[in-house]
Structure 1
């Protein structure tokens, strides 16, 4: 029986993983929608670990734990994983100020500096623990199985799936970052699909799901908490700033295009 499970085609393994992940994830999201939404930190943590738990279960079932990417990676890949979201966040801050969609908050206080420092250090590490749950499932199991199945454009397909996984909370709960949930969903989808290319590339060049988790955690903390410390928001910040803002979507989209055009053909298994 075990040998037959291991011999199942990768596309079938993908289907089983997606069915389990969406069944359990959307059940949790339903409870969140009926309650406090993403403000319920316990359910949010559980939701983020659902893809990882399903990925581990499927990898064990199909006798392919190696697919999860439990490798340390290298220093350069960790530097890129942290640096790309951090640089993006500071660029968003600069664009908001330059376009007068916000202004610089130059008020210096020990409380503000401490909050910012904790966010970019301890906060990123804690956020990466939550993000590891998603990354074991998405970049660990699913991305590897896409590669084994010979699916071209695996980063884009994974990004679309990853975006859809978030959609109920954007449309029906409090994960939308603007007063127009449909617009937030569109910009978020562009952002997350583009970010999937970035994280997918980092996972492939490092072989490490921990690198992917750091990139994910750094994104969450720098975009959502770190750069806003220095910003006085303008009236249209909800459309230009933040994770589902125009600037973040545009920066990640341009970077994803660059990676597709310049970097992916250097990989042994081309995902284009």
Structure 2
């Protein structure tokens, strides 16, 4: 493995993650646009580092397994697994008292009420559209960004670590993946109000999610990551009854 690949990944991504701090004095909309754009660009940092390392070491892009498709059944798993996990997350949080069942989708309703003009659709209809998009159109769009991370974390890093053993490779690569998000977490993303503990929770999240993504990757290619991003961020009919959620949904 190129010893500088990890350094490249962090050097490219972290300045982008920190760039929104330069816009603290700007209005909310401007900060949101800047954050969305630079975070999307940062997702390609692992991919760029992997491509540079592969080419400079005399390899080819095929070494990143872009041409490997794998058995079709794993693509069905990739499409179905995250909607099932998202639903189970909602059920578990309600059963353990972390959240309450909210058939009115109060968070969506509050967001609609904050808009300057009332939306013509009901919160239920909006969520239904989001769910449909999350398992159909959205993963195709997210592929443009998720591919960058998959090239780096699974296509390059996981593959290079496999000689250590499959489980060791999966755990180590996903710990690095979680720590890579640290500048964003410290700024309040994913775990607002918990800048330090949030980093550890993000690592725990990426390890757990990464086990699934690695399993899918080793049998297919990139499909799991973009679907996880869209499905796990789709609103569920629950409202949090505590101030801290153990589930990260933006990555």
**What is the TM-score with the length of structure 1 in the denominator?**
0.73
Q: Which runs of 5+ in 1 are unaligned?
A: 1-9, 245-272
Change (3 A) 1:84 1:222: same
- Return 84-93 or 55-64, whichever deviates more: 55-64
Change (3 A) 1:237 1:98: farther
Residue 216 in 1 paired to residue 216 in 2?
no
- Give 1:231's aligned residue: 237
Residue 178 of structure 1 deviates from its aligned partner by: 3.6
Aligned length: 221
- Give 2:71's aligned residue: 74
Aligned positions of 1:241-260 closer than 5 A: 241-243=247-249
- Structure 2: distance between partners of 1:180 and 1:165: 17
Residue 47 of structure 1 deviates from its aligned partner by: 0.2
Q: C-alpha offsets along residues 104-139 of structure 1, whole Å, 9 cap, x if unaligned? A: 325774333223312332122212321111001111
- Structure 1: distance between partners of 2:65 and 2:104: 42
Residue 232 of structure 1 deviates from its aligned partner by: 3.8
Backbone CA RMSD of aligned residues: 2.4
Determine which of 141, 153, 164 is the counterpart of 1:151: 164
Determine which of 107, 119, 130 is the counterpart of 2:134: 119
- Give 1:270's aligned residue: none
Change (3 A) 1:42 1:192: same
SS of the counterpart of 1:179? coil
Residue 183 of structure 1 deviates from its aligned partner by: 3.0
CA contact (8 A) 1:37 1:169 kept: no
CA contact (8 A) 1:67 1:144 kept: no
Residue 175 in 1 paired to residue 163 in 2?
no
Q: Which runs of 5+ in 2 are unaligned?
A: 24-30, 106-121
SS of the counterpart of 1:233? strand
Residue 38 of structure 1 deviates from its aligned partner by: 8.6
Q: C-alpha offsets along residues 221-263 of structure 1, whole Å, 9 cap, x if unaligned? A: 1111x2x2x424133164245439xxxxxxxxxxxxxxxxxxx
CA contact (8 A) 2:44 2:147 kept: yes
CA contact (8 A) 2:71 2:219 kept: no
Determine which of 66, 85, 95 is the counterpart of 2:92: 95
- Structure 2: distance between partners of 1:39 and 1:193: 28
Q: Specify which structure has the higher proportion of helix.
A: 1
- Give 1:185's aligned residue: 199
Change (3 A) 1:189 1:141: same
CA contact (8 A) 1:82 1:218 kept: yes
- Give 2:28's aligned residue: none
Determine which of 107, 110, 114 is the counterpart of 2:125: 110
SS of the counterpart of 1:180? coil
**What is the TM-score with the length of structure 2 in the denominator?**
0.78
CA contact (8 A) 1:131 1:217 kept: yes
CA contact (8 A) 2:190 2:248 kept: no
